Amino acid sequence: MDPLRLTIDHLGHRGDGVALADTGPIFVPGALPGETIDAAVDGDRARNVRILTPSPDRVAPVCRHFEACGGCAVQHLRKEAYDDWKRALVSKALSDRGIDHPVEPIVSGDPGTRRRAVFSAVRAGRHTVLGYHEKASHKLVDISECPVLDPAIVGALPDLKRLAGQLLPKKDEMRVTVLATTAGLDVTVEKADKSYDKTIPAVSRLAAEADWARLSVNGETLIEIRPPMLDMGGAALVPPPGGFTQATLEGEQALVAMVLKGAGTAKTVADLFSGSGTFALHLARQAKVHAVEGDAAALKAMDQAIRRAQGLKTLKTTRRDLFRSPLVREELAHFEAVVFDPPRTGAQAQAAQLAGSEVKTVIAVSCNPATLARDLRILIDGGYVLQTVTPVDQFVFSPHIEVVAVLTR
């Protein structure tokens, strides 16, 4: 098949260049808007791409693994254009739901600040491969560097690979989650070989020699040298092994500042999908807070942090599946402000209940602009007025973006 000559129109939401052809859009990995390319086209995907006219916004990738690794999508775009693209992802998501509202300037993230990494590991003959999947592939890239991660995690890669080599099952992939805390690295292994108990002395010794704070395998904490602490506004939180945390400390601080500002002088606040208390523990410095979360381990971690903290107002926690059983209008009547930060699927059922409530202020936090826009549409149709929409780039070089939206009655 002869190559086609294409001109890239824009950057898609996954970071691929998009050419507009008579047959529809063609997605071109690694291409940038304005570039002319030759490529073989298979359906709506281009391959064997040759760039004839490079964009003036093109820069050299900062990582040797970029061409293969699926962890990053856009390292080859000038910073200003990259920020514009991420901001536009939020604007388009709003527009797709008929929401015409300006998006605030992006709160930029920096490389080398990602404090949480989730690696995959697999056997390749006698060798251990630890890293991320290739783009659109089940094959792993064996990484030796990662410019987005905290240097402490990058420095631990050789030890993490040795750990994986002792715990890997014979065939399946294993997952290794690493969190950089104030006490050191918190390492959590899932899907390890079922007979891993034979390796407990060796891997515990490895963790001690590497000076990790904690090592957990298949739900069991094998060694805890120090509690892996996170500072939540003066409250010391020890997250559950492998539990959710905000991706970067700087991003978390920006999100917390916007949530606190949005809540303003509200004396009673509900924090829904609260996790281990990223917002609740800060909000409780200025208001009475009811934190609601479905994950028992996350709530247990928050309850322990509450007991250790001083100077908090009343902070109550409740375990509840908000997807199946959202807080209804009568329950919401107790709160002047509500914060919700759901998983990527959003909070459709909870948004519908809020739309029929009299809550004065709603602060929506999301890592998925599409489901956030859907939930905002529900709230706006219920009488809320959108005040601000602010993107926070915790996921540098990836197509993901965090967003905070503030609405009032």
**81-96: per-residue pLDDT in tens?**
999 999 999 999 999 9
Examine the pLDDT at 251 and tell me if it is beyond 90.
yes
Mean pLDDT along residues 383-402? 97
Q: Where are the domains of the chain?
A: 4-58, 84-110+245-408, 116-224
The tokens describing 248, both together, are: 């970067």
Mean pLDDT along residues 159-181? 96
Mean pLDDT along residues 50-76? 95
Please tell me if the domain spanning 84-110+245-408 has the same topology as the one spanning 116-224: no
Minimal CA–CA distance to 318: which of 334, 310, 308, 374?
334
Minimal CA–CA distance to 38: which of 50, 46, 47, 22?
50
What is residue 136's predicted lDDT score, i.e. its pLDDT? Answer: 77
The tokens describing 214, both together, are: 């904690």
What is residue 67's predicted lDDT score, i.e. its pLDDT? Answer: 87
Q: What is the dihedral of CA 221, 226, 232, 238, to 10 degrees?
A: 20
Distance CA 369, CA 94 (A): 8
SS3 label, residue 221: strand
Range 4-58 classified under CATH 2.130.10.10: no
- Of residues 69, 72, 146, 367, which has the active-site annotation? 367
Mean pLDDT along residues 205-225? 98
Distance CA 99, CA 397 (A): 27
Minimal CA–CA distance to 124: which of 168, 157, 84, 86?
168
Could you tell me what percent of the chain has a pLDDT over 70?
Answer: 100
Tens digits of per-residue pLDDT, 117-134?
A: 999 999 998 899 999 999
Examine the pLDDT at 38 and tell me if it is beyond 90.
yes
Mean pLDDT along residues 9-15? 95
Do the beta carbons of residue 374 and residue 350 sit within 8 Å?
no
Do the beta carbons of residue 89 and residue 70 sit within 8 Å?
no
Minimal CA–CA distance to 284: which of 251, 317, 249, 258?
317
**Higher per-residue pLDDT: 171 or 115:** 115
Angle in degrees, CA 74, 78, 84, rounded to 5: 80
DSSP letters for 323-372: TTS---HHHHTT-SEEEE---TT--HHHHHHHHTS--SEEEEEES-HHHH
CATH homologous superfamily of domain 84-110+245-408?
Vaccinia Virus protein VP39 (3.40.50.150)
Helices in 33-124 by DSSP H: which ranges? 79-96
Phi and psi angles of residue 72, each rounded to the nearest 5 degrees, phi first: -115, 145
Do the beta carbons of residue 337 and residue 275 sit within 8 Å?
no
Radius of gyration of the chain from its Cα atoms, rounded to whole angstroms: 23
Annotated binding-site residues read 246, 273, 293, 341
Distance CA 160, CA 151 (A): 14
Examine the pLDDT at 60 and tell me if it is beyond 70.
yes
Distance CA 22, CA 306 (A): 60
CATH topology for the 116-224 domain: OB fold (Dihydrolipoamide Acetyltransferase, E2P) (2.40.50)
What is residue 135's predicted lDDT score, i.e. its pLDDT? Answer: 82
Annotated binding-site residues for S-adenosyl-L-methionine read 246, 273, 293, 341
**Higher per-residue pLDDT: 211 or 126:** 211
What is residue 98's predicted lDDT score, i.e. its pLDDT? Answer: 98
Do the beta carbons of residue 70 and residue 385 sit within 8 Å?
no
367 is a catalytic site residue:
yes
What is residue 1's predicted lDDT score, i.e. its pLDDT? Answer: 64
